[in-house]
């Protein structure tokens, strides 16, 4: 595996491969990231000729609303390099801020209308502009054939899908199933910030999402289900529920009757950590 830090080094390491399988991350890798890298490696190995697997590790400052959150974001590059190597990454791209934002942090931004403006977009203004901008930049640098993202950040998946479609990026997207701890908590770099007594309560988010999805599939009133779920989360120890909503998974607009492609999404705070998660409604 090659570790590269500049655009020139990246281009040289990728070479003229016919297929490039790309996993963008913000580092501090966990099993969720590794599952994406392994999926990319399986796809790369299935091709003839074999493709190349590229993993980026870049903590993107433009998607953080709170500078304290950016500063607190966990980092461990030597560990990340070894984990990526173990999952069969070929090129590990770890640029600095100046490599990604040559024009500075106040330069051009990519805004994806519609799907970026509700839910996370309301609670984290500008977040998805930062996400779309850095992903667009990484796509231009890596020039992937396929890019891989986890479904835990479902709204992010939809934002990136719309950007790729609207701007005619010549690549395919693969959204991979959320990887969870044995108790159901979605894997996240932020989980490292939990105190043990709070960590024990955190899986209630996933449990409540599943209960909401089952109730929606059974024909319950969706708005009543949403209100009940918010109450259940507060009882379970969550300090604040930013949203709990049953939506069309493509448009992210609330729906009144579940059909194929309905998803329950939520964001809530516990122990000072903000969790997001989602599940499909089984219809």
Q: Which residues are catalytic?
A: 33
Q: Does residue 19 contact residue 46 with C-beta atoms inside 8 Å?
A: no
Q: Which residues pair with 54 in a beta bridge?
A: 22, 91
Which of 241, 242, 246 shows the shortest CA–CA distance to 219? 246
Write the CA distances from 256 to 26, 225, 250, integer angstroms: 36, 11, 15
Q: SS3 for 251?
A: coil
- C-alpha span between 160 and 174 (Å, rounded): 11
Write the CA distances from 278 to 3, 127, 150, 177, 181, integer angstroms: 34, 19, 11, 11, 15
Q: Which residues pair with 53 in a beta bridge?
A: 21
Q: Does residue 26 contact residue 59 with C-beta atoms inside 8 Å?
A: yes
- C-alpha span between 257 and 48 (Å, rounded): 45
- C-alpha span between 189 and 45 (Å, rounded): 28
Q: Count of residues for the chain?
A: 283
What is the biggest distance separating any 2 CA atoms in the chain, rounded to whole angstroms? 56
Q: SS3 for 21?
A: strand
């Amino acid at each position: 595996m090659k570790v590269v830090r500049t655009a020139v080094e990246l281009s040289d390491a990728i070479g003229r491969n016919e297929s490039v399988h790309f996993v963008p991350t913000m580092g501090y890798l966990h099993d969720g990231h590794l599952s994406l890298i392994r999926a990319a490696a399986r796809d790369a190995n299935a091709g003839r000729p074999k493709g190349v697997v590229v993993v980026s590790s870049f903590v993107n400052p433009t998607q953080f609303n709170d500078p304290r959150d950016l500063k607190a974001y966990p980092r461990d590059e030597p560990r990340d390099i070894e984990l990526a190597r173990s999952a069969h990454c070929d090129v590990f791209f770890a640029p600095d801020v100046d490599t990604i934002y040559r024009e500075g942090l106040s330069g051009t931004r990519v805004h994806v209308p519609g799907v970026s403006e509700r839910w996370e977009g309301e609670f984290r203004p500008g977040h998805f502009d930062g996400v779309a901008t850095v992903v667009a930049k990484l796509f231009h640098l890596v020039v992937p054939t396929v890019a891989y993202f986890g479904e835990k950040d479902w709204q992010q998946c939809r934002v990136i899908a719309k950007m790729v479609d609207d701007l005619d990026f010549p690549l395919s997207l693969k959204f991979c199933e959320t990887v969870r701890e044995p108790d159901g908590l979605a894997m996240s770099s932020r989980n490292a910030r939990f105190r043990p007594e709070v960590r024990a309560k955190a899986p209630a988010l996933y449990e409540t999402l599943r209960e909401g999805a089952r109730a929606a599939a059974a024909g319950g009133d969706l708005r009543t289900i949403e209100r009940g779920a918010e109450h259940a989360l507060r009882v379970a120890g969550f300090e604040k529920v930013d949203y709990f909503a049953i939506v069309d998974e493509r448009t992210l607009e609330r729906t009144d009757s579940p059909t194929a492609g309905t998803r329950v999404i939520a964001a809530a705070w516990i122990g000072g950590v903000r969790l997001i998660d989602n599940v499909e409604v089984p219809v």
